[in-house]
Homo-oligomer: A and B are copies of this chain.
Amino acid sequence: MSAFVNQLDTQGNLKHFLTIEGLSRDLLIDILDRSEAFLGVARQAVKKVPLCKGKVVANLFFENSTRTRTTFELAAKRLSADVLNLNISTSATAKGETLLDTLRNLEAMHVDMFVVRHADSGAAHFIARHADPHVSIINAGDGRHAHPTQGMLDMFTIRQKKPDFAGLTVAIVGDLLHSRVARSQIQALNTLGTGEVRVIAPRTLIPAQAESLGVRVFHSLPDGVRDADVIILLRLQRERMSGALLPSEHEYFRLFGLTEKRLRGAKPDAIVMHPGPINRGVEMDSEVADGPRSVILEQVSNGIAVRMAIMSLCIGTQNLHQSTNNQDQAHG
């Protein structure tokens, strides 16, 4: 994670998508605008565009996640790419050399993109640093570090409902200490000039230097959600319970679980978000999850469009407008 990887190529175009840190506001806006166009693809009779036809996307999942892998697989297939799903056990890659040989082999097969998920922070950067110049890397979650496509789909979802970031108060609730999702969200929210970014968490689940990230820290849910426009709940990793960090799920819900009653402190039109999968009765109750303010399933739909936008920016052969025209002709 230490060494620098330029995510842009020499022409200033997106080459890798490893972290939101360091990306410009203009680039984030560009990604959001393109995602808007891709959202329409899912509503077409033929949900496919040929932007990445003949390209090969390899899902390198060192950490198992059917759910995330499926979203990347669908995004790639809607771009007409071919997809290789490679489950690589972490044990086989304990020797770094073997991992590099694996990468070299996939590069030699002319794979165009690696979508990397790994339990270690910095894994996607490591791979990007050692990859052949023709390969693009997307970080699909590395340790506690970053999950930038999740961060962008959350920004997209917020902008759909609340177009002006400058006027917004966004509260992120949960295990800040271990959350790569929160890290990417905070970077994106600040880059987009969000009015106020708050984090709400028990003292044991908040990093020591939290304020330096550009957030206001709260340890009480009622205080933190007051007048918020957006409330983002983080998934509670159940394995944290076994340590001394949290007393119990029940106790967590009592203090930090979102209920309709607690939502009343927020703005009347506040939206509720969650990266999924939800632990019902832990991060929130079902009334909230399935209620009118929840945009959780819209996040999922938006995730495909945002990933299509990012993947096609990195390896697409033409722009969506041209492609949509071709598509129309082909199916007209």
Binary CB contact string for chain A from 50 to 67 against chain B (1 if under 8 A, 0 otherwise): 000111100000000011
A300 at the interface (CB under 8 A from B): yes
- List chain B residues, Cβ under 8 A from A301: 108-110
Question: Which residue on B lies nearest to A112, using beta carbons?
Answer: B47
Question: Which residue on B lies nearest to A58, using beta carbons?
Answer: B70
Of the 9-residue stretches A211-219, A220-228, A274-282, which lies at the interface with chain B?
A274-282
What are some 19 contacts across the A-B interface (CB < 8 A)? A42-B110, A47-B54, A47-B55, A47-B56, A48-B54, A70-B84, A70-B109, A73-B84, A74-B82, A74-B109, A97-B280, A97-B286, A101-B277, A104-B300, A105-B277, A107-B297, A109-B301, A109-B304, A110-B304
Binary CB contact string for chain A from 31 to 61 against chain B (1 if under 8 A, 0 otherwise): 0000000000010111110000111100000
Question: Which residue on B lies nearest to A76, using beta carbons?
Answer: B82
A298 at the interface (CB under 8 A from B): yes
Total identical chains: 3
- List chain B residues, Cβ under 8 A from A66: 86
| Contacting residues of chain A (78-118) with chain B, CB-CB under 8 angstroms | 78, 82, 84, 86, 97-98, 101-102, 104-110
A71 at the interface (CB under 8 A from B): yes
> How far does the Cβ of A209 sit from chain B's closest Cβ, in whole Å?
35
Q: Of B73, B303, B317, which one neighbours A45 at CB under 8 angstroms? A: B317
A145 at the interface (CB under 8 A from B): no
Contact B82 A77 (CB under 8 A): yes
- List chain B residues, Cβ under 8 A from A98: 277
A301 to B105, alpha carbons, bound, how many Å? 8
A82 to B297, alpha carbons, bound, how many Å? 22
A36 to B259, alpha carbons, bound, how many Å? 56
